[in-house]
Structure 1
Amino acid sequence: MPFGLAMEIRLRATAAAAMPFPLPALRNHARPCSFTGALSHSQPKPVAFHARTGAIRSPNSEVPRAHGAKMSVAVPESLLIKRTAVEVVDDLRGTSLFLVGMNCTMKTDLGKILADSLRYYYFDSDSLIQQAAGGTSAAKTFREEDEKGFQSAETEVLKQLSAMGRLVVCAGDGAVQSATNLSYLRYGVSIWVDVPLDYLANEFMVSEASSSIMSTTQETDQFTKVMNVLLRQYNKLKEGFAIADTTVSLLKVASQLGHEDLTAVTAEDMALETLKGIQKLTRVKKMMEEAGRPF
């Protein structure tokens, strides 16, 4: 990788370190949990979590009426997300979140919602490389002409971001394609955003209609082409995705909410499921720490 590009990536990735982190206004703070993997700015330590996400409860609650009767009141999902984030953020103690999975709008939107609710900074690792390379077109050319250099750039981005705290990082494909990159993900909590390939193919066909992959005029042929490309990419990456600490599945969330149409699931639905999964991780970590304490 060219030295100038490496320096540009380093400067862009570390820009947030000079900014004061936005501290969330929380009430009734719980006692912080001492995470082995909580990031510090001096000497971060990796952490490995093992847990599965929990189910989403219906966003309704029962509230008492004047004469003891009850009525169902819909709680805005944005409020549920903020409430859950308040419960999670102290125990995270600044530990960063790394979102892995096939690139899609859902993954991007989920990352931004998580960053907003936790008062974290949001980064897209691919965007950092594109900015450092001089734009999307330049980054694409860089990747085609120097694949090893591009992979080194992906590693440099993860190296810089993993040394910080209070980040939500939308990681690109390169994050799970080498042991070195996977090791950087262990400095935070990694989350696999699992989205079905046909969902991704439909999104691609809408957003990339002019791409070379869509050169045929038959829609069924176009869809088949896109699915084949995505399937090859998925098969290459799925083992790395599976190493993530927890998974948020679009299919699972849709089933829990009773949606047959996957497009009915919102990024907010996915964010609430993700926060509940993180909450389970912190609880497991606490139990492990308490079990290891001497009597």
Structure 2
Amino acid sequence: MRRSAGLSMEVEPHVLRLQAAELGSRLRGTNVFFVGMMGTGKSTVARALADVMGRYIFLDTDTIIEELLGASVGEVFAKDGEEGFRSVESQVLDQVHSYVKMCVATGGGIVSENKNWGKMQTGMVVWLDMEPKDIFERLSKDPEEVAKRPLLAGDDPQGKLEELLEKRKPQYAQADVTVQLKPEDGVDDITYNVVNTILEFIDSNPPKWQKWKEKANAAGIEWA
């Protein structure tokens, strides 16, 4: 099941922290994986969510790959091609998903490997969705942001963004929840909506233990 959320305006920090604390409690250590196109702010939002939930750790799969190989993502693509990069990416995810209490920002193309979905679906998957023209507008403010992304090489980076999103949409759409983004959205507002969209999802899809507890209570059985 997937739910989309519109963005609230100027959320108060204390409100965000209260909601995030509730989410941290209800997730019971479940990891949160962020998927979506490059330039949508997955790393920024994942880091912000880990911060406000407390006791959660932020990880970025691209950063782990760069530290592991001692090379930038662009350099890995140049040396080993996309296939080589995806192989290492899957190995990194294999290690990461075995831990708990993680907010994980993933690479935009991690969804292209079906085996990666099996690993991420052990947690909560959030799709940060943004229009390609808005992604390009955000990235083009810093030419280096476009230049360092190997899949955007060429004369029409916006066109490549549109092509990539169209190709990946069926995979992204398998996420548990979706949050729609616009260029002007602030990090706190996005994080707040991620928190509340996940809470709505949990309410609509209670875990089995919660259903058992409700049945026990209804039958007059004390639940420990």
The two structures have a TM-score, normalised by structure 1, of 0.64
**C-alpha distance in 2 between matches for 1:284 and 1:248:** 17
Residue of 50, 58, 62 corresponding to 1:122: 58
CA contact (8 A) 2:125 2:176 kept: yes
Q: 2:74: which partner in 1?
A: 140
1:285 to 193, 198, 205: 205
**2:222 corresponds to which residue?**
none
Residue-by-residue CA offset, 1:18-52 (whole Å, 9 max, x unaligned):
xxxxxxxxxxxxxxxxxxxxxxxxxxxxxxxx241
Aligned to 1:243: 174
Report the secondary structure of 1:286's partner residue. Answer: coil
> Is structure 2 residue 139 aligned with structure 1 residue 204?
yes
DSSP-derived class of the 2:205 partner: helix
Aligned match of 1:161 in 96, 102, 119? 96
Q: Secondary structure at the match of 1:142?
A: helix
Amino acid at match of 1:207: D
Q: Is the 8 A contact 2:40 2:135 kept in 1?
A: no
Q: AA paired with 2:167? A: K
Q: Distance in 2 between matches of 1:238 and 1:104?
A: 16
Shift of 1:267: 1.1
**Residue 56 (structure 1) shift:** 5.6
CA contact (8 A) 1:98 1:171 kept: yes
Q: Of residues 142, 163, 168 in structure 2, which corresponds to 1:232?
A: 163
Say whether the 8 Å CA contact 1:95–1:188 is kept in structure 2. yes
Change (3 A) 1:99 1:214: closer
Distance in 1 between residues matched to 2:7 and 2:138, nearest whole Å: 25
Instruction: Give 1:103 shift.
Output: 1.7
Conserved 8 A contact 2:127-2:179: yes
Alpha carbons of 1:51 and 1:199: their partners in 2 closer, same or farther (altered >3 Å)?
A: closer
Deviations 1:83-137 (A, max 9, x none): 101221111001010000012263222111101011211111011111111131x
Equivalent position of 1:37 in the other structure: none
Matching residue's letter, 2:92 = V
Partner of 1:113: 48
Contact preservation (8 Å) 2:62, 2:107? yes
Higher relative contact order (CA 8 A, sep 6+): 2
3-state DSSP of counterpart to 1:122: strand
Q: 1:180 aligns with which of 105, 115, 119?
A: 115
> Match for 1:279: what amino acid?
L
Match of 1:266 in 2: 186
Give the number of equivalent residue pairs. 209
Change (3 A) 1:172 1:58: closer
CA distance in 1: counterparts of 2:70 and 2:153, whole angstroms: 26
- Asked whether the 8 Å contact 1:125–1:170 carries over to 2, the reply is yes
- Are the equivalent residues in 1 in contact too, given 2:8–2:193 (CA < 8 A)? no
Look up the match of 1:171: 106
Q: Which runs of 5+ in 1 are unaligned?
A: 1-49, 60-75, 216-221, 252-261
CA distance in 2, matches of 1:123, 1:106: 14
Q: Indicate the larger mover: 157-166 or 285-294.
A: 285-294
The answer as to whether partners of 2:58 and 2:104 remain within 8 angstroms in 1 is: yes
Instruction: Decide whether aligned partners of structure 1 residues 162 and 280 sit closer, same or farther in structure 2, where only a CA change above 3 A counts.
Output: same
Give the aligned partner of residue 94 of structure 1. Answer: 29
Q: Which residue of 2 aligns with 1:275?
A: 195
Inter-partner Cα distance in structure 2 for 1:105 and 1:205: 13
2: CA distance, partners of 1:286 / 1:230: 36
Is the contact made by 1:53 and 1:274 (CA closer than 8 Å) also made in structure 2?
no
Once residues 196 and 52 of structure 1 are traced to their aligned partners in structure 2, the CA distance between those partners, rounded to angstroms, is 17
Instruction: Give runs of aligned pairs for residues 5-20 of structure 1, distance below 5 A.
Output: none
RMSD between superposed Cα atoms in Å: 2.6
Residues of 2 paired with 1:286 and 1:94: CA distance? 15
From 81, 84, 92, give the equivalent of 1:149. 84
